[in-house]
Structure 1
Amino acid sequence: MTQQVGTVGALWRYPVKSMLGEELPAVDVTERGVDGDRRFALLDPETGKVASAKNPRLWRQLLTLSAVTTDDDVRITGPDGAELGPDALADLVGRPVTLTAEPPPGASLDRADPEEVLHAGPAADVAVHAIGLPAGTFFDHSPLHLLTTATLDRIGELSPRGTVEVRRYRPNLVIRTEGVNGFVENGWIGRDLTVGPQLRLRITVPTPRCAVPTLAHGTLPPDPEALRVPARHNRLEPLAGMGPHPCAGVHAVVLTAGRIARGDIVLLH
């Protein structure tokens, strides 16, 4: 049965992995996701790994930087709004780094155990494990990440702060839902969404949350409850054998490409 589950509330693109992104009024989406999303990343020449704030001890400073797409490149600015070149980037993160649009063969990143980060703090030297990235991309798992306002509202209701910011979860597509409560997208796994007149998606797995939502994002201060709430109230097993993880949102793959815009109708099939 096909039903309308909401409308497009916001669209986000993150030109450089683990940096702050840009909100868009409309965008083309292909099998590689939102046009220009995760087009670039920083590489650590010492380890050969992709820099990711999933390892907060080394890379949490990336979330203080903003990346905006230009005609054929990207513009990176620091917390003060000044444009940053390679040397300034290295100084800010405290390590030599290389900005690249070419994922190396066998690209991987380090992911810290998020609940260890909650216990010990983002600067602590906690256990990490390597995650391989899909070939030829800087995505962690899938080309699209979706989140509903119902989930955001529920996390906010359960948080001592009474709110949570969407930017902490870094979705590409925020679906504005009405008349529903809780983590509604959990029930969409394995089903299809049509967004706007053309785009068709397959919802694949719930999104396991790392330590990133707890970290400072630009001017937003750290918020451990952004992870603690899903850990207490929405623990799911994204893939068989993974065990339960705190989850919020879902991953999706693109079945039919299309252009989407804020306000487009979202249908669940």
Structure 2
Amino acid sequence: MGTVTALARYPVKSMLGEPLRSVAVTRTGLSGDRTHAVLDDAGAIGSVKHPRKWGQLLDCRSRLTDDGAVQVELPDGVTFPVGDSGLDARLSELLGRPVCVSGSAPPHSTLERAVPEYEGGVPDAVRARATVDGTGEEITVGRVVPGTFFDFGRVHLVTTSSLARLRAVYPGGDFDPRRFRPNLVVDTGEGPGFVEDTWVDRHVRVGEALFRVVLPTPRCVVPTLGHDELGPDPGIMRAVAREHRIPVFDLGRLACFGVYLDVLEPGTVRLGDQVTRQDGP
């Protein structure tokens, strides 16, 4: 099926993450992935899915230290450990309102998403309920998976053949996989674009870990934003919407890229590990 060519985790939700050579996978996803998030006084979870409100988080980078502590590097290069009051003060200054970094999701916290202009960016029924907030952005409001900072899936995978397909239809776009914030990038060689769609409901082994492929990943505006040295590009998601709008549950045809995985058996995953089917031919 393919070979793992990149691994990454994002200890603080919506911040830049860290590339890895190997990682322990637990029942709840990659060890250290999205264990923390930035919260504001209104109970909103910091997510660059609402870029006017939270976009500066992509100027920050989070990582784990060797002893498992979470650190945040701010845009000026200054680094703070999570839990340091100086970090909350600097992030509050950066975002223009009081915020803090938390390792637990309050039960009634909300997750805000900007409504994209392209077709398939949100379900039509959800688009109809959108409102305009104080930033002037049209948004929808939802929640994360209870007790976590995950929107839905615990592990996100993209393939090189799907990236190649999008480059072919939008040659001017920079389809660096980091735009899509995956945990695993799988080299599928000369395979067809969106080959991962055929893996849905299948069991796949990656290194020592066993996963179930749950569903294609509906995409938001995040891949169009600037990431690290990657500049903003609104054409990225327009290309996805043109090429790959597919049915997701009962939500209609959504613009999807990559797939979500659930963990069936924990284990270590390393660069170069093979991805193999475990549920028949």
Does TM, normalized by the shorter one, top 0.5? Answer: yes
Query: Over aligned residue pairs, what C-alpha RMSD do you find?
Result: 1.8
CA distances 1:54-107 after superposition (whole Å, capped 9, x unpaired) = 011101111111111122421111233222521111111222111000111133
Q: Distance in 2 between matches of 1:80 and 1:156?
A: 33
Q: What does residue 143 of structure 2 align with? A: 132
Percentage identity across paired residues of the two chains: 43
**TM-score scaled by structure 2?**
0.87
- The 8 Å contact of residues 29 and 155 in structure 2, kept in 1 or not, is answered as yes
After TM superposition, the structure 1 stretch with the greater mean CA deviation from structure 2, 148-157 or 167-176, is 148-157
Q: What does residue 263 of structure 2 align with? A: 254
Q: Distance in 2 between matches of 1:234 and 1:116?
A: 12
Q: Distance in 1 between matches of 2:75 and 2:166?
A: 27
Q: Distance in 1 between matches of 2:104 and 2:98?
A: 18
The answer on 1:115 being equivalent to 2:110 is: no
Find 2:186's aligned residue among 150, 175, 180. Answer: 175
The answer on 1:58 being equivalent to 2:53 is: yes
Q: Distance in 2 between matches of 1:192 and 1:225?
A: 33
Shift in alpha-carbon separation, 1:124–1:219, aligned structure 2, 3 A = farther
Runs of 5+ unmatched residues, structure 2: 81-86, 122-133
Q: Distance in 1 between matches of 2:248 and 2:108?
A: 23
Give the deviation of 1:124 after TM superposition: 6.8
Find 2:274's aligned residue among 235, 242, 265. Answer: 265
Q: What does residue 199 of structure 1 align with? A: 209
Alignment of 1:205-220 (within 5 A): 205-220=215-230
Q: Distance in 1 between matches of 2:64 and 2:37?
A: 13
| Corresponding residue pairs, total | 258
**TM-score scaled by structure 1?**
0.91
Q: Distance in 1 between matches of 2:275 and 2:239?
A: 27
Runs of 5+ unmatched residues, structure 1: none
Report the secondary structure of 1:255's partner residue. strand
